[in-house]
Structure 1
Amino acid sequence: MPKVEHQNSTLLTDDELRTLDAHWRAANYLAVGQIYLMANPLLAEPLTPAHIKPRLLGHWGTSPGLNLVHTHLNRVIQARDLEALCVWGPGHGGPAVLANSWLEGSYSETYADVTRDAKGMERLFRQFSFPGGVPSHVAPETPGSIHEGGELGYSLAHAYGAAFDNPNLLVACVIGDGEAETGPLAASWHSNKFLDPVHDGAVLPILHLNGYKIANPTVLSRIPEPELDELLRGYGHEPIHVTGDDPLQVHRAMAGALDRALDRIELMQRTAREGGVAERVRWPVIVLRTPKGWTGPAEVDGEPVEGTWRAHQVPLAGVRENPDHLRQLEAWLRSYGPEELFDSDGRPGADVLACVPEGDRRLGATLHANGGRLLRDLPIPPLDAFAVPVDKPGATLHEPTRVLGSLLERIMEETSGRRDFRLVGPDETASNRLEAVYRASGKAWQAQILQVDEHLERHGRVMEILSEHLCQGWLEGYLLTGRHGLFSCYEAFVHIVDSMVNQHIKWLRTSRALEWRAPIASLNYLLTSHVWRQDHNGFSHQDPGFVDHVLNKSPEVVRVYLPPDANTLLSVADHVLRSRDYVNVVVAGKQPCFDWLSMDQARAHCARGAGIWDWAGSAGGDREPDVVLACAGDVPTQEILAASDLLRRHLPELAVRVVNVVDMTRLLTREEHPHGMSDFEYDGLFTTDKPVIFAYHGYPWLIHRLAYRRTGHGNLHVRGYKEMGTTTTPFDMVVRNDMDRYRLVMDVIDRVPGLAVRAAAVRQCMADARTRHHEWIREHGTDLPEVADWAWSG
């Protein structure tokens, strides 16, 4: 059993100890004040019910521990002149982080009306978790934050994302013991196998064990300390333990723990950078055990509170109505000695501010938490060098993502010196045909490398781990601190991060309304290995619903693109990689696909977002269409064009218009989305009274939801994926889901007035083709030759 190492106390002077404790007490006072008070911030008069908020909201339990960490980070940042960022995993401890930002002055610099005096203190208290104020969690409104505290599990992944390619940055990460029980956080401990001590910064995890969640004990606080020590060592860390409830002893121990951890980090980085040591290093982790609700009420109404789950949120409820609780609250607040901490005007005293760094060294003022201020434009080369030649539509085939891979390779090359672009994905870069990037950068890897391994590098910038949570968390942290990236994933399994992208979208929506937050690079998804070409992996790999999830979110933030071929994918990629403050979802195939548009045509088509392909239909000139064939996605586009081809051969008198949609949000109205079409534009494309047969990549009801307000919605008939999946042939996938060319022709005949009788023989021919298909694949295991060998004849 390993020896459990507790930190020896740093030899703090009496003055240092006094000022550290003063800062910590001031932060605790401010945290309590935010939860309870709306007036009388300095307790200049006895508390009355009128001074108390009508609704008591917030989380006290974790706040003293967060205040302790913030106080001691201030000390080492100031003493060592560190460039530092802190990710607050227990982000529901918003009162603590806000309190420290106000104390150091960064809050008042950000919000001029919340001055660092009694008037500003009252405003700080009143606005907390109050209508028209600020959230109770650490949020975009909080200076120094890159991490929303509402949902737990992502802090450590965010911290590592911030540290990648930030060689001078220390990222402290406070991990709550409740958060430590989540799956994403458990996987995040493995991030240290990807942290390059030469080119990356350092992450210092601080595991805060206060014993309880909302109503239950936490696992890591209840296992024996030697067992926890073994666990952390198994993850590749060197644990340093700080335990106690005596403030002065804990101050000494915490100071010693931080000094020891930072000395070790400095030694490991210097050794790697100067001596070229290639072995994986073991980074320190601090295990901090303090009581939940420390320094708060020990007992309320005869029940123990401090050190129990009862301290989690508001330890004293009903303060307005209960005189005993009111007296207990006042005693609690006065126990911090506010008259010693603030002058008569409410300004923090010299002792309180003695450990606070200056300028952008303050945690609330670090530029890394406002990454848009550090962001540089991505050097994207001209697309023509990567475009595939298209002399006529449908004459050649390419794998779109392989074409994109060459562009990404060049971007990797162009950013090799500045190191501000990363590609992340769950073990699928080569599978998704993006392996060209390996010529510019290998895969980041600090664990053992064998001779049979390929493309593993100590300094690589391609990030692969079989955890979508980590890929998402790393990239979010990387983007939020001022860099660029792309997340490539199998379409069906990106759902694993549904909740994470939801949180990031909320962050972006809020931060866009804050003038002081500079725009950051967009979060870009490339979803491939998609539903229609997962015929070999089967039903478990077939789910196109991430688009539905994203399009439910804030319209000013989300964008969804379905490029139908290689050149349109290049054009879309160029756009999304240059964009700011969006979540862009790009769905594109990796299998050989027909080339429909030249590079110039692709640019124009993507700029429109949706447009008529005159060459693909038969309603040329001034002729009004009898039917509109619409499509979105590569396989639906091919099936619509094949259906158009059949209609031109079998029903040449029929006027057919083909419309392709690249930008899904174009289908919305302009009032609902910035990219939405006016009714005039929409009606011009789709008509107001003609049947529209729409082949869509995903679940068909999404198209109805996007277009439900349009005049011609009643004429809209959508085909798409309807959970009819299995292991089968590629064409059988579309047949099973009634999106095949033969079914689409039948839909036209069924919906164009007058065709039901006149084209009955054609319809029967299409139905017979579907029957022939079923018999053929069961005998031969391949698609019909007329399907497999089909090419556009226009």
Structure 2
Amino acid sequence: MVIQTTGAATRAGFAASPLEEREELALYQRTTNYLTAAQIYLQENFLLREPLKPEHIKDRLLGHWGTCPGINMIYAHLNRLIIRHNIDMFLITGPGHGAPANLANLYLEGSLQPFYPELTLDEAGLGTFIKRFSWPDGFPSHLYPGLPGTIHEGGELGYSLATAFGAAMDNPDLIVACIVGDGEAETGPTAAAWHSYKFLHPAESGAVLPILHLNGYKISNPTIYGTMSDADLSRLFTGFGYKVRIIQASQGDARMAKALDEAYRDIRSIQQIARSHQSVALPAWPMLILRSPKGWTGIKQLNGKRIEGSHRSHQVPAIDVKSSQTSLEAVEQWLRSYHPEELFDERGRPRPEVLALCPQGNHRMGSNRHTFGGLIYEPLVLPQTQRFAVTRGLTTSNIEPVAQYVKEIIVNNPQTFRIFCPDELESNLLGAILEVTSRNYQWPVADGDEDGSAQGGRVIEVLSEHLCQAWLQGYLLTGRHGLFPSYEAFLNIISSMMDQYAKFLKSSQEFAWRLPVASLNYLQTSTLWRQEHNGFSHQNPGFINTLLNKKPDVARIYLPADANCVVYTMDQCLQDTDTINLIIAEKRPFPQWLSFAEAVAHCRAGASVWQWASTAQGIDPHVVLVGIGDNPTLEVMAAAQIIRTELPFLRLRVVNVVSLFTLTPASEHPQGLEDDLFEAIFTAHAPVIMNFHGYPSALKQLLFGRSRLERFHINGYCEEGTTTTPFDMHVCNGTDRYHLVIQAIRLAAAHPSCQHIAIRMNELIASYQAILTEHRRFIQRYGKDPDSITQWQWQMPAD
């Protein structure tokens, strides 16, 4: 691998005097600002060795200039800090569309060249580099996985700070600097993320240095934080618990350097106290606020309108350069103001004094080893799954055995596995995990909160799905493992975050140097079918639909029907890399359908015929009845028992699906089935009734491309139900056993050999509809499901 694993940040000849330091800082920033602006505009004449002409300008001007000078200032000073103190540090840039600034720094420090050999530090490499920005098959206008040092794109604002904290966890020597843009700071996820340090143990983990970059404007409006006074900002962030330092860019590099040196000393002081086994009460971690003019050092005015220091510099300050001589002259004057002839020699190489501020080896922020999580990744030490097997035929929670399994993972992997959960661990019957660890919380807690501890802990609970997702992303992308348990309804809150992460994984697979990282695993429980306490507002299985639209190499959805299947599925997901795995399992007691060996075979297949539950071993069925999910499967099994007992002349095949993508054609997904295998399970001609956990539209999407789609009849959640009984939730949505029996009768009656069913169809259907009517009367009178439902057990009739 091209990333160096050794190499000091310091080097001979680094300027020691404050004056020389300031000169190097100024020269370096002038260079990165030039490279940034050049990337946005130039396709030729990269060093302005001739007058600027329209043909030198790119036809498509893309990029966000306004935030870039501030990013360049921060990057330069972080480089200085790394060199001076020999720090293990990398940068997360929240304003991801400031990518030309990051690229300029990555180019100068040499982090790009190992992956893009043509980007040499000479005139040819410089021209290739500048032209590549926002060019077809080049670098996009935002950060992305094709750039070394990147673990956060900034494609959706709000998640940079929490991602930085996730990366710092269990990395005691690491400091993650994070630039939070003032537009990003307006988002809810960022507002919550300021509290992340309260979950960061200063002895076992590294540190995050937040830098709030205030340049005053969004696309066309002032930012909230940009309009606040220094006094108000100081009060706000001091109230959050930070030690705040505010720097005006106009104060110059000396003030910025002093503030960063002080912040670094604050971090090390807190860590040294904690690591000497002393209590650190309410540590005031440092944060910086940098005020810089929007579009600083750029065009001051154009056509009588202010550009620098206004929203007009947010993206491309002069967009009509090829058609307006005035704009062309303004851009040329701007670019020449950096004096590129002083920055590069006659061969187009950056002058040595420019490169003096670049750290060496893996101390370069773009080459920091933590940003290449695949290099650090090691598989988890997993327990033997058979030890957590549940006896077939018992009735027990599908979740509690997996809690015992995860307990051992925590014991076996004390520094590389964490659980991030939105305050629902015990509610989801995973509380047994707290027998071997605690909830990590660094702020004082009241007596009696015995499960919370400032002494580490592998469980982090906070009532913010955004924080859980971003922490987990930062943790995974720096080479570790994790689990995100959640109520079903609330995973939808982070659907767009999951979407961004899926895109990151998909793009990462396009670069051979992005080695695989541990998969992101969701355990989705407290599902819609058992929301009798929370009601209609908590009934939403839509996260399935969102994940269905992700790239097939990335997305996996599992609906195990019993505890043995849940344990085996979890074990497989924790061994996966570069995927997003969704496991859906209800926490309430369920019948256990399969032995552990049967569960393993079933899960490996993804879908299989349960011959023991079918009539005549499921051979030549009139109807195929399919359960997908633990609650729908329970109703399928109850319907199968009714049919076997009361309608023995109806030939029935029972199928269970655990991996949802087995329904899709093999050409569409790695877990999809070839047509012959699909028909071996679902037959080629028999009608198929699918009883599904989620929205019926999800199965329609998956089945598209299969032959004779008209024979598939899909039941699922159809936005019906409220605070009612568990069985009535199924009745409201037509997924209960009696509706299934009625469907089976109707479909079987159309078969030529089932005239005896057709003759009695009206009578049979009326009898089951009467049961449903009586069910309604019963629950309205008693407020509960009848014993015939709650005490139902599977019984195996003799064939």
1:212 paired residue number = 217
2:452 paired residue number = 456
User: How far is 1:429 from its partner?
Assistant: 0.4
User: How far is 1:686 from its partner?
Assistant: 1.0
* Cα 1:151–1:540 shift into 2, 3 Å: same
Q: Which amino acid aligns with 2:791?
A: D
1:744 paired residue number = 740
Q: Which amino acid aligns with 1:136?
A: S
1:445 aligns with 2:441: yes
Q: Does the CA contact (< 8 Å) of 1:536 and 1:729 recur in 2?
A: no
1:86-165 matches, within 5 Å, as: 86-165=91-170
Structure 1 CA distance, aligned partners of 2:249 and 2:623?
Answer: 76
Q: Does the CA contact (< 8 Å) of 2:548 and 2:698 recur in 1?
A: no
Structure 1 CA distance, aligned partners of 2:195 and 2:125?
Answer: 43
2:12 paired residue number = none
1:467 aligns with 2:464: yes
SS of the equivalent of 2:64 reads coil
TM-score by length of 1: 0.96
Give deviations 1:308-365, integer Å, cap 9, x for gaps.
Answer: 0000000111111112221221221111111111122222111111121110110000
**Alignment match of 2:52 (pick from 44, 47, 51):** 47
Q: Using the TM superposition, name which of 635-644 and 348-357 deviates more.
A: 348-357
Q: Does the CA contact (< 8 Å) of 1:402 and 1:590 recur in 2?
A: yes
User: How far is 1:709 from its partner?
Assistant: 1.6
Structure 1 CA distance, aligned partners of 2:541 and 2:571?
Answer: 23
SS of the equivalent of 2:491 reads helix
1:265 paired residue number = 267
**Alignment match of 2:397 (pick from 396, 399, 408):** 399
Q: Does the CA contact (< 8 Å) of 1:734 and 1:740 recur in 2?
A: yes
Q: Which amino acid aligns with 1:21?
A: A
1:380 paired residue number = 382
2:4 paired residue number = none
Q: Using the TM superposition, name which of 775-784 and 501-510 deviates more.
A: 775-784
Q: Using the TM superposition, name which of 340-349 and 188-197 deviates more.
A: 340-349
1:491 paired residue number = 488
Q: Using the TM superposition, name which of 131-140 and 275-284 deviates more.
A: 275-284
1:652 paired residue number = 648
Q: Which amino acid aligns with 2:136?
A: P
SS of the equivalent of 2:766 reads helix
1:554-703 matches, within 5 Å, as: 554-620=551-617, 623-703=619-699
Q: Which amino acid aligns with 2:366?
A: G
Give deviations 1:445-501, integer Å, cap 9, x for gaps.
Answer: 011121111311111120100001111111011111110000000000111101100
2:339 paired residue number = 337
1:200 paired residue number = 205
Q: Which amino acid aligns with 2:674?
A: S
Give deviations 1:36-70, integer Å, cap 9, x for gaps.
Answer: 01112111222211111001000000000000010
1:284 paired residue number = 286
**Alignment match of 2:304 (pick from 274, 290, 302):** 302
1:430 aligns with 2:426: yes
Aligned pair count reads 775
SS of the equivalent of 1:92 reads helix
User: How far is 1:688 from its partner?
Assistant: 2.1
2:359 paired residue number = 357
User: How far is 1:760 from its partner?
Assistant: 3.2
User: How far is 1:191 from its partner?
Assistant: 0.6
User: How far is 1:681 from its partner?
Assistant: 1.2
1:184-199 matches, within 5 Å, as: 184-199=189-204
Seq. identity, %: 46
Q: Which amino acid aligns with 1:557?
A: V
User: How far is 1:275 from its partner?
Assistant: 4.1
Structure 2 CA distance, aligned partners of 1:526 and 1:768?
Answer: 38
Structure 2 CA distance, aligned partners of 1:551 and 1:708?
Answer: 13
Structure 2 CA distance, aligned partners of 1:294 and 1:619?
Answer: 79
SS of the equivalent of 1:585 reads strand
Structure 2 CA distance, aligned partners of 1:521 and 1:55?
Answer: 38
Structure 1 CA distance, aligned partners of 2:560 and 2:795?
Answer: 22
Q: Does the CA contact (< 8 Å) of 1:557 and 1:582 recur in 2?
A: yes
Give deviations 1:373-421, integer Å, cap 9, x for gaps.
Answer: 111111111101111122xxxx2111111111001100000112xx110
Structure 2 CA distance, aligned partners of 1:263 and 1:190?
Answer: 21
1:346 paired residue number = 348
Q: Which amino acid aligns with 1:479?
A: L
Q: Does the CA contact (< 8 Å) of 1:631 and 1:640 recur in 2?
A: yes
Structure 2 CA distance, aligned partners of 1:332 and 1:640?
Answer: 71
Q: Which amino acid aligns with 2:50?
A: E
1:552 aligns with 2:554: no
Structure 2 CA distance, aligned partners of 1:27 and 1:437?
Answer: 50
Structure 2 CA distance, aligned partners of 1:546 and 1:365?
Answer: 35
User: How far is 1:11 from its partner?
Assistant: 9.6
SS of the equivalent of 1:172 reads strand
TM-score by length of 2: 0.96
Q: Does the CA contact (< 8 Å) of 2:485 and 2:524 recur in 1?
A: yes
Q: Which amino acid aligns with 1:106?
A: S
SS of the equivalent of 1:277 reads coil
Q: Does the CA contact (< 8 Å) of 1:650 and 1:762 recur in 2?
A: no
Gaps of 5+ in 1: 1-9
Q: Does the CA contact (< 8 Å) of 2:270 and 2:280 recur in 1?
A: no
Pairwise CA RMSD of aligned residues? 1.2
Q: Does the CA contact (< 8 Å) of 1:206 and 1:286 recur in 2?
A: yes
User: How far is 1:757 from its partner?
Assistant: 2.4
Q: Using the TM superposition, name which of 124-133 and 471-480 deviates more.
A: 124-133
Structure 1 CA distance, aligned partners of 2:70 and 2:16?
Answer: 22
Structure 1 CA distance, aligned partners of 2:16 and 2:721?
Answer: 67
SS of the equivalent of 1:133 reads coil
User: How far is 1:761 from its partner?
Assistant: 2.8
User: How far is 1:127 from its partner?
Assistant: 1.4
Q: Using the TM superposition, name which of 12-21 and 661-670 deviates more.
A: 12-21
Q: Does the CA contact (< 8 Å) of 2:65 and 2:295 recur in 1?
A: yes
Runs of 4+, deviation exceeding 4 Å: none
Gaps of 5+ in 2: 1-14
Give deviations 1:763-786, integer Å, cap 9, x for gaps.
Answer: 222111111111111111111221
1:31 paired residue number = 36
1:6-25 matches, within 5 Å, as: 13-25=18-30
2:408 paired residue number = 410
1:177 aligns with 2:209: no
User: How far is 1:599 from its partner?
Assistant: 1.2
2:7 paired residue number = none
Structure 2 CA distance, aligned partners of 1:756 and 1:45?
Answer: 89
Q: Does the CA contact (< 8 Å) of 1:240 and 1:285 recur in 2?
A: yes
Structure 2 CA distance, aligned partners of 1:462 and 1:352?
Answer: 46
Structure 2 CA distance, aligned partners of 1:12 and 1:205?
Answer: 27
Q: Which amino acid aligns with 1:17?
A: R
**Alignment match of 1:534 (pick from 512, 531, 535):** 531
Give deviations 1:236-265, integer Å, cap 9, x for gaps.
Answer: 1010110133xxx42111101100000111
Q: Which amino acid aligns with 1:678?
A: E
Structure 1 CA distance, aligned partners of 2:280 and 2:776?
Answer: 58
Q: Which amino acid aligns with 1:116?
A: L
* Cα 1:318–1:85 shift into 2, 3 Å: same
User: How far is 1:12 from its partner?
Assistant: 5.2
Structure 1 CA distance, aligned partners of 2:180 and 2:356?
Answer: 27
Structure 1 CA distance, aligned partners of 2:148 and 2:561?
Answer: 42
SS of the equivalent of 1:287 reads strand
Q: Which amino acid aligns with 1:286?
A: L
